[in-house]
Chain A
Amino acid sequence: MSADESSSSGLRPPASGLPSPASGLPSPASVLRTPASDTVALRCANIHRYLGTGEGRVHVLRGVSFEAHRGQVEAVVGPSGCGKSTLLYLLGLLDRQEEGDIWINGRLMSNSSDAERTAARGANIGFVFQFHFLMQEFTSLENVMMPMRKLGRLAESEMHDRATQLLAAVGLGDKTHRLGSQLSGGEQQRVAIARALANAPAIILADEPTGNLDQRNSGIVFDLLTRLAKENGQAVILVTHNPEIANRCDAVRPMRDGVFV
C-alpha cells in the first residue's frame, strides 16, 4: 500500500508511538516477531478444548492447527457448535485450551500468565464481536480511544487524532461525539472495527461481525474490515456463517466437529 492509498482511506499512520506496519516503521507487534515466522502473525498447533462438566462435557476442538498471515483475511466457516467461536477466543487469548500451543508474533503464549496474555491482547490483538459491545455510556470517539488509553503509548492529543482518523475511515467522522446508544447497529459495528484497529494490532479477530446486520451494512462492514486490515498489513481471522462473505476472503477454512475439514 502506498502512502497515498493510506491517505485516501482517511487513516494516516499515527504521529508517534503506534506506527502502522504499512508506514514502513516497525509496528509494536513486529518487535516480538521471529525471523522464521516473519509473515505469520498467529499460529496454533494441536489445540484441544473441552466445554462443560461431567456428563455434559463436550470435546469442542479436537487438535486444530492453524496459521494466519499478515495482510491475509481468513474465514473460518462451519455449522453452529462446530467450535469456530471457541477457536477464535482461544486464538485471542480470551480462553485457555486443555492441550496445544498458540504463538502470537512468534511468541509462545500457551503457558503464559494472565498478565502476559492480557498485555499481548492489548498490544497485538483487536476484536470485533457479533454484538458490537460498545460502551453505551461513552461516545464513539471515547470508545475508540479506550484501548489506546490502556496501552498508553500515545499522548492524549495523539490518541484523539488517531481515533478521529479511524472513525473518519469507517465513515463516522461526523458522529464522533454520539453516544454508543445513539448509533444504529451498522454504525456501532463500524465503531467496533475502528476500536479494534486503534492500537494497530497485528491480528484482527472477528466473530461474525456481520451476523447482526442487514445485507447492505454487512457489505459495508466487511469491506471496511478487510480494506483497513490489508492496508495496514494485519492478519484477519473472521468467523462467519455467511457464504457470500466467506467467499470474498483470501482463504476459507471449513470446520466440522472441532476440526478443519
Chain B
Amino acid sequence: MSPNLRIASRFLTARKRAMLMSLSCIVLGVGLFVVTQATTSGFELFFIRTILGTNGAIRIEDKIQDTIRSMAAAGNEGGSNFRIAMRNEGKKYIEGIEEPKLLTDALRRFANVAGVSSVLRGGVYIRSSFRTEAVQVFGINLDDQLRVSDLEHQIVQGNLDDFRSSPSGALLGREMADRLQLDVGASFVLDALGESRRYRVSALYETGVSDIDRVRVYLNMGEARSLLKRPTGASFLQVNVYDKDRAPQDAAQIEATLQYSAASWQEREKVWLEAFRALTYSSAITVSVFTLIAGLAMFNTLAMIVMEKTKEIAILRSMGYTRRDISRIFLWQAAIVLMLGTVAGWALGAVVTYAISYIPIRIRGILSADTFIVNWSIWHYVAATLISVLMVMAASLIPARRAARLEPGDVIRGTAQ
C-alpha cells in the first residue's frame, strides 16, 4: 500500500458521518441509475421486438415513379451525363406492389434480407352476433409471414395448423375478439364490396399493440384476394432482416435499386423511439441528481477535512511529502468512497432490477407485458460508474488542490505563534 493511500484511508475515519452521507448518495445514485436504465431500455427493446415481430424490419409499399420534373432536376445537377437520381421533389408514388413475386425474388438477393412476405390489405366490416365493426383484412401466405414476424408466438388461443388447412379460417386479434365476443371456433361475417362471407376463428393472437390487435384480421392469401377482388398484386411486402440495425441502409438501398418506397422500422416508429430515448435520458438525468448530491457531499466533506487537517498537511510537507502527494491523499479519499459506493451501487442496482422484473404490471397498447421488463446490460453499470466518477472526482479536485497549495510555513507559524 502506498503511503498516500495509507494516510488517505485513515483520514477517512476523521469524518465518518459525512463520508457515510457521500457513500450513501453514491450507492443510491449508481443503484437507481442502473435500475432506471434497465427498465426504460427493457421496455424500449421489448417495444422494438414487438415492432419487428408484427410489422417487420422493412415495409415496401409503393412504386416510385419519377416525373419529368424530378428527372430534369437530377439531369441538370449531373451536368451533361443524364442519370436518374433519387429526389423527393416531383416524385410520384403508385400504390401497392404490381409484381410481388418478381420483387420478392429481387429482395432475396440482398445479403441482409432474411425473409419476405407479400400482404394484401383491404378495409372490410366484421359482423358477429354481438356487434359490427370496421376492420382490416390482411391476406397472407402463412409460411412466408411466419418468416417475417412472431405471429407463431403471438397466438394465445387456437392453433395455426387449423388456419393453414382451412380456407375459411381467420386469425383475430384478442382485443377484437373480446369486443365482438368471439372465441376460437366461432363464426363471423366479413362484408366487403357488397358481398358477405362467413369465416371461422382459427386462432386468436395478441401482439400487445392495440392498433393491430383491434383491427387486423388475417386471412389466407387466396381467400383475401377473392374477398377483396384483387386477383393479382399485393398491398405491401414485409421484410425481415438478419441485422436489424442495418435496416435503414438496406431500405435506402432497396429504394434506390428497386424504385419502391421502403421504410425501415426505425423510420416507421420514429415517434415512439424518440419518446423512449427522451424517457431514458430524462430518467438518467433525474437519477444523476443523487450522484450530483454525492459530489457536493464529497466536496463538503473533503473541504472540512482539509480545514481540520492543516497541521497534519504541514507536518507531512515537512517530512518530504510533495504537493502532489497531498493532493493524492485527498483524491484517494474520494476514490475509496467512490469505489465502495460504486460497488455497493452495482449490487443495489442488480438486486432491485431483479426484484422489479418480478413485479406484476399489465401493459397493453404499444406492447404486451405482464411484468416489468428489464434489460441486463453491462453498459448501464459502466455509464453509472462513469457519471459517479466524473461528479465525485470533479468535486474532489478543488479541496485536493486547496490542500496541496497550503504553505506549511504559514500553517505552522499560525499555530505556533
Q: Are A85 and B416 also in contact (CB < 8 A) when A135-B10, A135-B312 are? A: yes
Q: Is the CB of B325 within 8 A of A150?
A: yes
Q: Answer yes or no: B354 CB below 8 A from chain A CBs.
A: no
Task: Determine if B417 and A137 form an interchain contact, defined as CB atoms under 8 angstroms apart.
Answer: no
Which residues of chain A come closer than 8 Å to B407, judged between CB atoms? 94-95
Give CA–CA (A131, B315) in the complex, Å: 11
Q: How far is the CA of A29 from the CA of B201 in the complex (A)?
A: 99
Residues on A with C-beta less than 8 A from B312 are 133, 135
Contact (Cβ within 8 A) A150 B321 = yes
Shortest Cβ gap from B15 to chain A (Å)? 12
B320 touches A119 (CB 8 A): yes
Collect the chain A residues with CB atoms within 8 Å of residue B412's CB.
89, 94, 129, 133, 207
Chain A residue nearest in CB terms to B320? A122
User: Which B364-417 residues sit within 8 Å CB-CB of chain A?
Assistant: 407-410, 412-413, 415-417
Give A59-90 interface residues, CB cut-off 8 Å to B.
80-81, 85-86, 89-90
> What is the bound-complex CA distance between A150 and B6, given in angstroms?
11
In contact, B10 and A131 (Cβ under 8 angstroms): no
Residues of B within 8 A of A208 (CB): 416
Q: Is B76 an interface residue (CB 8 A)?
A: no
What B residues does A207 contact at CB under 8 A?
412, 416
CA distance A242 to B158 in the complex (A): 105
Chain A 85-121 residues near chain B, CB threshold 8 A: 85-86, 89-90, 92, 94-95, 114-115, 118-119, 121
Inter-chain contact B319/A138, CB cutoff 8 Å: no
- Cα A122 to Cα B410 in complex, Å, equals 19
A127 — which chain B residues lie within 8 A by C-beta?
Answer: 315, 318-319
Query: B311 and A147: CB pair below 8 A?
Result: no
With a cutoff of 8 Å between Cβ atoms, the chain B residues found around residue A58 in the complex are: none
Q: What's the minimum C-beta distance from B170 to chain A, rounded to whole angstroms?
A: 79
- B322 contact set on A, CB distance < 8 A: 114-115, 118
Most A CB within 10 A of own CB, among B3, B315, B415: B315
A window 118-163: CB within 8 A of B:
118-119, 121-123, 125, 127, 129-131, 133, 135, 137-138, 146-147, 149-151
Query: Which A190-208 residues sit within 8 Å CB-CB of chain B?
Result: 195, 199, 207-208
Please tell me if B317 contacts chain A, counting CB pairs below 8 Å: yes
| Residues of B with C-beta under 8 A to A115 | 322
The reply to whether B413 and A86 contact each other, CB–CB distance below 8 Å, is yes
Majority-rule SS of B interface residues: helix
Contact A123 B10 (CB under 8 A): no
What is the total number of residues of chain B having a CB less than 8 Å from a CB of chain A? 29
Q: Which of B3, B320, B321, B410 has the most CB of A within 10 A?
A: B320
Instruction: Give the residues from 35 to 72 in chain A that come closer than 8 angstroms, CB to CB, to chain B.
Output: none
A138 partner residues in chain B, CB cutoff 8 A: 10
Is B14 located at the chain interface by the 8 A CB criterion? yes
B298 in the interface, Cβ–Cβ < 8 Å?
no
B320 with A114: CB separation less than 8 A: no
CB closest residue in chain B, given A92: B318
Partner of A131, one of B3, B7, B416: B416
Q: Please report the number of residue pairs spanning A and B whose Cβ atoms sit closer than 8 angstroms.
A: 85
A210 to chain B, nearest CB (A): 14
Question: Given the interface contacts A89-B409, A138-B10, A149-B3, does A121 sit within 8 Å of B416 by beta carbon?
Answer: no
Measured in the bound complex, the distance between the Cα atoms of B1 and A146 in whole Å is: 13
Interface residues on A, range: 20 to 34
Q: How far is the CB of B361 from chain A (nearest CB, A)?
A: 50
A123 near B416 (CB under 8 angstroms)?
Answer: no
**Known contacts A114-B323, A208-B416: does B314 contact A146 (CB below 8 Å)?**
no
A94 touches B3 (CB 8 A): no
Could you say which residues of chain B place their CB within 8 Å of the CB of A149? Answer: 3, 6
Chain B residues in 8 Å Cβ range of A92: 318
Q: Which residues of A contact B6 (CB under 8 A)?
A: 149
Contact A94 to B317, CB < 8 A, known contacts A129-B416, A149-B3 = yes
From residue B413, how far is it (CB to closest CB) to chain A in Å?
A: 6
* Contact among A123, A131, A135, A137 for B320, CB-based, below 8 A: A123
Residues of B within 8 A of A80 (CB): 417
Asked if B311 and A131 make an inter-chain contact with CB atoms under 8 angstroms apart, the answer reads yes
* Residues in chain A near residue B321, CB distance under 8 A: 118, 122, 150
Q: How long is the Cα–Cα vector from A93 to B317 in the complex, in angstroms?
A: 10
Instruction: Among B3, B11, B415, point to the contact of A150 (Cβ < 8 A).
Output: B3
**Given contact pairs A131-B311, A131-B416, A208-B416, A146 touches B319 in the complex (Cβ within 8 A):** yes
Which residues of chain A are near B311, meaning CB under 8 Å? Answer: 131, 133
The 6 tightest CB contacts between A and B, nearest first, are A122-B320, A95-B409, A137-B10, A149-B3, A94-B409, A147-B319
Q: Which B residues are within 8 Å of any A CB, using their own CB? A: 3, 6-7, 10-11, 13-14, 311-312, 314-323, 325, 407-410, 412-413, 415-417
12 sample A-B contacts, Cβ–Cβ < 8 Å, listed by A number:
A85-B413, A85-B416, A85-B417, A89-B413, A94-B314, A94-B317, A122-B320, A125-B318, A131-B415, A133-B314, A150-B320, A199-B320
